[in-house]
Amino acid sequence: MNPTEGKKKRIRLLFVCLGNICRSPAAEGIMSGIVSKNELQDIIEVDSAGTSGWHQGDLPDERMRSHGEKRGYDFCSRARKFKKTDFNDFDYIIVMDENNYHTVKSLVSGKEQADKIHLMTEFSVQFNNHDNIPDPYYGGSTGFELVLDLLEDACEGLLQVIKKKHSLY
């Protein structure tokens, strides 16, 4: 490792959904896997949160964990509520739907914070016909599988954007 490599600023990503038990922990787990596969874990850090605190401290929904496990993921983060200080701690705040977007945006203090907020679907490559990542909580297996398909696609797209923007090639 050359001496300047260790001094690179870490790029911090925060995925946000409503309860932090389905979509955002799945995005966190998928992105963590992609980051590791690309050997960027020393540069890119990943976390997740919810706009509500209903499930604080809980593991992700067991259905999401089960569907993720079938694809080789381990969704094991603990739910936490999004807080205003997250704007200072993260470079990208990536929300799953318009409701999450408006809730997070209502907490900003200025343009710099607002510019950090992105819809997950902004990074979609193959599934660019979806405006939001739908909440699978009240649905069946197909909803969880769709969410995983959408998140895998958007996480790959996000990594490409980050690589380009931060010259990580």
pLDDT, tens only, 7-43: 568 999 999 999 999 999 999 999 999 999 999 999 9
Give 97 or 9, the one with higher predicted confidence. 97
- 54 in any annotated domain: yes
Q: Is the pLDDT assigned to residue 1 strictly greater than 70?
A: no
Is 155 a known active-site residue? no
Structure tokens at 68: 């993720």
Q: What is the model's pLDDT at position 7?
A: 55
DSSP lists the bridge partners of residue 46 as: 13
- 1 in any annotated domain: no
- 124 in any annotated domain: yes
Q: What is the domain count for the chain? A: 1
Is 135 a known active-site residue? yes
Beta-strand ranges (E) seen in 1-96 are 11-17, 44-50, 92-95
Catalytic entry in 17, 22, 47, 65 = 17
- 5 in any annotated domain: no
- 83 in any annotated domain: yes
- Nearest C-alpha neighbor of 97 from the set 32, 6, 19: 19
Label residue 128 by pLDDT band (50, 70, 90).
confident
The DSSP output letter for 27 is: H
Q: Is the pLDDT assigned to residue 4 strictly greater than 70?
A: no
- 3 in any annotated domain: no
Is 23 a known active-site residue? yes
Q: Is the pLDDT assigned to residue 51 strictly greater than 80?
A: yes
Q: Are 147 and 26 in contact (CB under 8 A)?
A: yes
Catalytic entry in 23, 47, 86, 97 = 23
- Nearest C-alpha neighbor of 51 from the set 105, 88, 120, 91: 105
Domain residues for 60? Answer: 12-164
Catalytic entry in 47, 86, 135, 153 = 135
- 94 in any annotated domain: yes
Amino acid at site 47: D
Mean pLDDT of 90-115: 98
Q: What is the enclosing helix (H) or strand (E) of 118?
A: strand 117-119
Q: What is the CATH number for 44?
A: 3.40.50.2300
Mean pLDDT of 92-116: 97
Label residue 100 by pLDDT band (50, 70, 90).
very high
- 4 in any annotated domain: no
- Nearest C-alpha neighbor of 99 from the set 133, 126, 71, 76: 133
Return d(Cα 161, Cα 93) in angstroms, integer.
14
Q: Is the pLDDT assigned to residue 2 strictly greater than 50?
A: no
| Residues sharing a CB contact under 8 Å with residue 131, sequence separation 6 or more, in sequence order | 98, 119, 121
